[in-house]
Amino acid sequence: MMSKHPVGTDPVYQNSRRETFWILLIWAAFALWVVGVSGWLGFGHDPDTPVKTVFGFPAWVFWGVAIPWLGANIIIFYFASKVMKDDPLSDGAARDSSNQSS
Amino acid sequence: MESLQNLIADASAKGQGQNAALISFAIYMLFVFALAWLAGRIRSKKEFVSEYFLGSRGLGVWAFALTFAATNASGGSFMGFPALIYTHGWVLALWIAGYMIVPLVTTGLLAKRLNQVSRKANAVTVPDILRARFGSASVGLVATSLLTFFMFFYLLAQFKGGSVILATLLEDLDFFQSAVTWVAGWKGNFFLTQSTEPDYLLCLMLFATTVIVYTTYGGFRAVVWTDVMQGLVMVIGVMVMLVLALSQVGGLSKATEQLAEMKPPQMGTITIQWKSSLTEKLSIQKGTWMHTDDLRIVRIANHVVIEPDTPTTPELEVLIQPDPGQKVKDKALNLSEWGRVNITSTLPYARGDGQKGVYVTPPGPSKNEDMGFLSLGMAFSFFVFWAFGGAGQPSNMVRQMAFTDSRVLKRSIVLVSVYYTAIYFPLIIIFCCARVILPGMEIEPDRIMPALARTLSENAGMPWLTGLIVAAPFAAVMSSVDSFLLMVSSGVVRDVYHHHLNPNASEKRVKWLTYIVTAVIGVAAVMAVLNPPQYLQNLIVFATGGLAGCFLMPMALALYWPGITRAGIIASMLGGCITHLVLYIAGYVIHQEFKVYSFLNIQPFLWDIIGSTFFALLVSKITKPLDASLIDRFFGKPKQLQRKD
């Protein structure tokens, strides 16, 4: 018989589930940015006009790939350092962490 | 006649610097063996199974991050990807863009829970986790079977890739050519090697022996340590190439401007009509440039030997270079004194023929596709595939079981994201510059990496750098092969023998069996690629897609959904596998070759995921739920925390 009410809900499970939600959201945001901007500036480019460049990159690469790539690095740094929890992963570590917090 | 021979020999003369490549390669190999020896020494002092397959779960930030990054960056990153950039231009930035978020998705989605659950279950392999999570030997066996099946295909492809790179590295060395002659002398005596090219056979033996020995002896720790070294070699190689390429092309703006002026080449054929018959055989090397009678420039696509006493040569395959630069014009042979060179047929690109600007705008030029290289829909599909396909690779899951604690994970995610930025984005810039520096490489795009490395180093007056740069792709292949070899052997020894055939086996017995199985699998893979299959890149796609289809959703559901049942997880793995195989069978029926069918023009991986999820949900709803004790063990609050409450 499956337990409807587990003895308690594992904090690592809860935190991981919350972090997964944010990761999927961040992924979706960058997917929209990259595909949207590259589609607009790159696929929409008129073949008879010269390609605009920014710092030597074609403009669609700069705004649609290079800048979001830089942004992804910043977001990943923020997410890893501020949003992800320092969860204890072994039972021994969970006990130590619990003792410290008390 | 002699002057014609000399003229052609001069035109195809290769550069110097190959001795430097050999020296770099030898030093690199010494380091690999030293690390394996050290890892073996450490392993002998620890409990065998956990240490050999998981390095005692002791990976720190650098080890975890670089083994993760290096294993993912296989030979494809340094051979296939540069070839695509060279052939299609800046559109590859969009194709690879998903890598900006790969470190977060592939590690962040599953790693923490996977590590925690593997500790609770005392698991050292992916099937181990699933077996413990569902308390079922059948679940473990299904997982092992699928993993071994798909991994073996991947292993084959990487063994071939490693051998090809090595052959490229060494091909111009007299010492190597002598060894090839020696191999050619005896290979015909053995049935399996009769039709194998001698240079490929020699390199396969060298490459396979190295990887099998250090992986068998050193285990997971050796694999991780060599991955760290290989990861550093890769990033140093890329950085050196970036600086040299940009300085030699005159900056990125100039490279993009020149790229914007380029039109795609055409493939075609020529014949040479001699004014007087040849008196002896004439050998024309692949890659030789030639003027034609109608003032165009072509490049010979295959090595040809022209027989004497033939007034006209047979049709020779060539690449017809539009707008060749002065350097190419100067280099090209002018045979007007000896005969007439006529273009007899041309094959234009399906998209981009005669158009400027196609190398700097999407969808990019394409030989075969009217729609170009990359549609917007496929760009989105790749954004999904790189991130989630990576998360579903069992080789990544094993590494996620091995890090020390959450802090290591967090720092590693940041480090991997910086690492990938330093590898993939510069590669796009480097090989866009390569179109300007080395025109005409469409005849052999897979060789653009070593060819460019050699050209850049020689132009910079530092031929010794070639060795350092070309070590990068070799390192990439090695770091993938060793990981996959270990995973297949752990599947057989741990999941089949130790769990099912002989649970009471002594540590000594398991240890020796592991050595033997790792070596046997390596040798079996070598035998299988003695005569490599034609569509090797397709094999890689088949294997990685299959692994992700079979393991991503089952593992995610096992970690995050208490309601999935034993039958549900088996249905999920088999559902992903069956969907994958059905799409390949459909692809074979439609295309008459080993190629997947993209139903509704959607990345096949997404169909695998849909199939896997559908079967998991359906079967879990109609089958018996798991025991409460199993749910409590993996989802309940740890006992220590309950007591505090």
Low-confidence ranges of chain B (pLDDT < 50): 15
Q: Is it the case that residue A3 has pLDDT exceeding 50?
A: no
Q: Which of B376, B407, B560 sits opposite A39 (nearest CB)?
A: B376
Q: How far is CA B559 from CA A22, B119, B132, B553, B554, in A?
A: 17, 13, 12, 10, 9
**Does residue B540 sit in helix, strand or coil?**
helix
Q: What is the CATH number of the domain that holds B380?
A: 1.20.1730.10
Instruction: Pick A41 or B496 by higher pLDDT.
Output: A41
Number of domains observed in the structure of chain B:
2
User: In B, which residues are within 8 Å of A7 by CB distance?
Assistant: 632, 636-637, 642
Record: contact A87-B640, CB cut-off 8 A: no
Whether residue B645 lies inside any domain: the answer is no
Whether residue B537 lies inside any domain: the answer is no
- A11, closest residue in chain B (CA to CA): B637
**Does residue B144 sit in helix, strand or coil?**
helix
Angle, helices B406-437/B448-459, rounded to nearest 10 degrees:
70
Angle, helices B252-261/B406-437, rounded to nearest 10 degrees:
50
pLDDT at residue A60, rounded to an integer: 96
The per-residue pLDDT for range B529-581, each reduced to its tens digit, is 887 665 566 777 788 889 999 999 999 999 999 999 999 999 999 999 999 99
Record: contact B410-A10, CB cut-off 8 A: no
Neighbours of B197 (CB within 10 A): 18
Same domain, B367 and B508: yes
CA distance B34 to chain A (A): 33
Whether residue A35 lies inside any domain: the answer is yes
For residue A31, give its domain range.
23-82
Contacts 24+ apart (CB under 8 A), B176-182: B176/B202
Same domain, B152 and B245: yes
Same domain, B327 and B471: no
Q: What are phi and psi of B346, to 5 degrees?
A: -135, 150
For the purposes of burial, counting CB atoms within 10 Å of the CB of A7, is it exposed (0-12), middle (13-18) or buried (19 or more)? middle
pLDDT at residue B37, rounded to an integer: 79
User: In A, which residues are within 8 Å of B414 by CB distance?
Assistant: 76-77, 80-81
Same domain, B237 and B281: no
Same domain, B37 and B143: yes
Whether residue B550 lies inside any domain: the answer is no
In which band, very low, low, confident or very high, does the pLDDT at A2 lie, cut at 50, 70 and 90?
very low
Q: Is the dihedral of CA A87, A88, A94, A99 positive or negative?
A: negative
* Residue after which a domain boundary falls, among B532, B564, B588: B532
Residue B590 identity (one-letter amino acid)? I
Same domain, B337 and B367: no
What pTM was computed for the model?
0.85
Same domain, B482 and B394: yes
Task: Say whether residue A102 is in contact with chain B using an 8 A CB cutoff.
Answer: yes
Task: Say whether residue A65 is in contact with chain B using an 8 A CB cutoff.
Answer: yes
Record: contact B417-A73, CB cut-off 8 A: yes
Q: How far is CA B287 from CA A41, B301, B334, B441, in A?
A: 37, 6, 15, 8
Whether residue A8 lies inside any domain: the answer is no
Determine the Cα–Cα distance for residues B600 and B602; give it in Å rounded to an integer.
5
Record: contact A56-B625, CB cut-off 8 A: no
User: In B, which residues are within 8 Å of A53 by CB distance?
Assistant: 253, 256-257
Same domain, B177 and B322: no
B582 contact partners, CB below 8 Å, separation of at least 6:
none
The residues pairing with B37 across neighbouring beta strands, listed in sequence order, are: none
The per-residue pLDDT for range B402-418, each reduced to its tens digit, is 888 889 899 999 999 99
Mutate to test the interface with B, among A69, A95, A100 (most CBs of B within 10 A): A69
Mutate to test the interface with B, among A5, A9, A10 (most CBs of B within 10 A): A10
User: In A, which residues are within 8 Å of B116 by CB distance?
Assistant: 10, 12, 87, 89-90
Average pLDDT score over chain A: 84
* Residue after which a domain boundary falls, among B501, B532, B563: B532
Same domain, B427 and B295: no
Record: contact A91-B120, CB cut-off 8 A: yes
CA distance B231 to chain A (A): 19
Catalogue the E-assigned strands of B476-589: none
Whether residue A42 lies inside any domain: the answer is yes
> Strand B316-321 to strand B297-300: parallel, antiparallel, or no bridges (unpaired)?
antiparallel
Same domain, B180 and B272: no
- Are B86 and A60 in contact by the 8 Å Cβ rule? The answer is no
- Counting one residue from chain A and one from chain B, the pairs whose CB atoms sit within 8 A come to 212
Whether residue A14 lies inside any domain: the answer is no
* Residue after which a domain boundary falls, among B347, B372, B388: B347
Number of domains observed in the structure of chain A:
1
Determine the Cα–Cα distance for residues B21 and B453; give it in Å rounded to an integer.
10
pLDDT at residue B217, rounded to an integer: 75
Mutate to test the interface with A, among B106, B117, B409, B417 (most CBs of A within 10 A): B417
Mutate to test the interface with A, among B59, B415, B641 (most CBs of A within 10 A): B641
CA distance B365 to chain A (A): 13
Catalogue the E-assigned strands of B250-338: 266-274, 282-284, 289-291, 297-300, 304-306, 316-321
Q: What is the largest CA-CA distance in chain A?
A: 70
Whether residue B641 lies inside any domain: the answer is no
Whether residue B459 lies inside any domain: the answer is yes
- Are B49 and B510 in contact by the 8 Å Cβ rule? The answer is yes
For residue B246, give its domain range.
15-254+359-532
pLDDT at residue B344, rounded to an integer: 93
Same domain, B191 and B99: yes
Whether residue A32 lies inside any domain: the answer is yes
B330 contact partners, CB below 8 Å, separation of at least 6:
none
Same domain, B463 and B520: yes
pLDDT at residue B420, rounded to an integer: 92
Whether residue B286 lies inside any domain: the answer is yes
- With a pLDDT cut of 70, the percent of chain B lying above it is 91
Whether residue A52 lies inside any domain: the answer is yes
Residue B235 identity (one-letter amino acid)? V
pLDDT at residue A1, rounded to an integer: 43
pLDDT at residue B57, rounded to an integer: 64
Whether residue B462 lies inside any domain: the answer is yes
Determine the Cα–Cα distance for residues B264 and B382; give it in Å rounded to an integer.
25
Whether residue B592 lies inside any domain: the answer is no
For the purposes of burial, counting CB atoms within 10 Å of the CB of B26, is it exposed (0-12), middle (13-18) or buried (19 or more)? exposed
